[in-house]
Structure 1
C-alpha cells in the first residue's frame, strides 16, 4: 500500500474554524483520517473532551549528546536505502526524541509541532504508564501484586475490580476486549463510536 506524502497542516490550510473551506475543515467525522489528522492530532482538545495534564513545576533537564543519527542507513519495505532524515520525513512524524543513558541523542519537531505542543498519544499512553509502573516495581516502590483498585479506586465497580497490577501489565487480567479493526462490530469500534466520533 502506498501512503500519501506527509504534509504540513499549516501549508495544507487544515483546521476546524468556520472560515476554513469544507474540503480542508477538520470535523468529528474525519479527524482521524488523512489529511485531517495532520492537524487534529495536535488539536484533539478542540474535538473531543479531554483534560490537560500539567507538567512538573521544575522538570529535570536532560543533557544533550547528539549521536549523529543522520549517518544511519537502512532499507525500507521496498528494499530502497534510506538515511535517517529521509526515513523520519516519510513517517508522518510530528515529534521525536531519542534518549540514550539519560541524554537526548536526537530531537526533532515537524508539522507545526513544538516541545510545548500537546499531541494525541493513543496507545502510547499505556506504554508510558506501563514503563513507569515497571520502574516503580523494580525500585521496590510499588508491589506487583497490588490490587488494581488500591491504585485506582474508581475501577472498584468495573471488570478490573479483581485484578492486580501485575495482571494488567502482563495483559493476563482475563477481561475480554475485541480489538479487531477489520470487524466493524468489534469492541474497539463500539468504544470508538461512543467517544472518538463526536459528530
Structure 2
C-alpha cells in the first residue's frame, strides 16, 4: 500500500501529525510525505527513525519527498523528539480552572477537556502559556488523562504553569509531572501582559 501526503505549506507539527496518522492506519506499505522546508523534513525523518523504519529522502525543486517504509505493525507512535521551537506563538494565555470543560455533566466535561487539550496540540500557532488554577492543576499531575498532550505542548514551546498554592491545597505538588510551579504574582503578571486570554 502506497500513500502520499502533501504537507507543503503546513506549519510544524502538522506534517508530522499527518504522517503519524497515516502510519497508524497501515501494517505495511510506503508513506511518502512531501514537505517544503528543512524543519519539517528533519522532524518527519526523526519520527520514522524513532520507529526504526527505513526512510529515504529525495529533494526536487525545493521540495523534500520523504519515503517511509513500513513492513510490520508498530505499537503506539509518539512524537518523541519532534521540536517546533521555530513556530511563532500567539500572545495568548489560556487559564484552566477545572478538570472538566463547561457546566453540566461532570463526565461529559472531562471528555470535552480531554478533547480540547488534544486539539490544542494540532492547532497552530500555539498559545504562549497555559495556566492551571484551582482543580485545574490536577490536569498536570500523575494519573491525568491529558498529561501526554500537555507534554507535547510544552515540548513545542508552550509554557505550562500550575498554581503552587493549589497544588499544596490538594496535596499533589509531589505528583506534578509536566510544567512548572507558579505563584499568584506571576500568574497575574502573565494574564495582565497577554494580548488575549481564554478562561476555561
TM-score range, shorter chain: under 0.3
TM-score (norm 2): 0.23
> Which structure: greater helix fraction?
2
The higher radius of gyration belongs to 1
| Higher strand residue share | 2
- Name the TM-score, length of structure 1 as normaliser: 0.23
